[in-house]
Amino acid sequence: MEQPLIAWTPQLAVGDPTVDAQHQRLMDLIARITDTHDARDALTMNAAVEYAATHFKAEEQLMNRLGYPAFPDHARLHRQLTQNLLGYVKKVGKGETDLRAFKQFMFKWVRDHIMVEDLKLARFLRTRTTTVER
């Protein structure tokens, strides 16, 4: 089966410049995970997971500040994804799965999350007329 290309696409745009830039960086980090079996692989994987956590925090602060009604549910999904990623990192460490599988898993989860949950947030952001101060 052909694997999807790991990249951010304009289809994933949320319309908030900070969130979109963070999503692009997250996708870039996921794309950089390689399976060459050297120490850099684990570093890149950990960097991607760490950056995901940083990004979730930023997105949650934005939702909280704007009084986004679905904030608690959205934050719960972030926690779930973080737990799943950490579980996967452990499995990779124990040799129970490889980085190629990890990379596809993380990409699919992040892309699906953006396409469903973050685009709901995007619709909410569009209903606001004022520019958000950062």
Q: What amino acid occupies position 123? A: R
Question: Would you state the structure tokens that stand for residue 72, as one six-digit string?
Answer: 């608690």
**Under rule CB under 5 A, residue 41 binds Fe ion:** no
Q: Which residues contact 94 (CB under 8 A, 6 or more apart)?
A: none
Nearest-CB residue for Fe ion: 118
Which range touches Fe ion (CB under 5 A), out of 23-31, 33-41, 55-63, 97-105? 55-63
Shortest spacing between CB 59 and Fe ion, in angstroms = 5
Choosing from 88, 89, 118, 125, the residue that interacts with Fe ion (CB under 5 A) is: 118
116 DSSP assignment: I
Q: Are 78 and 60 in contact (CB under 8 A)?
A: yes
Instruction: List contacts with Fe ion (CB under 5 A).
Output: 59, 118
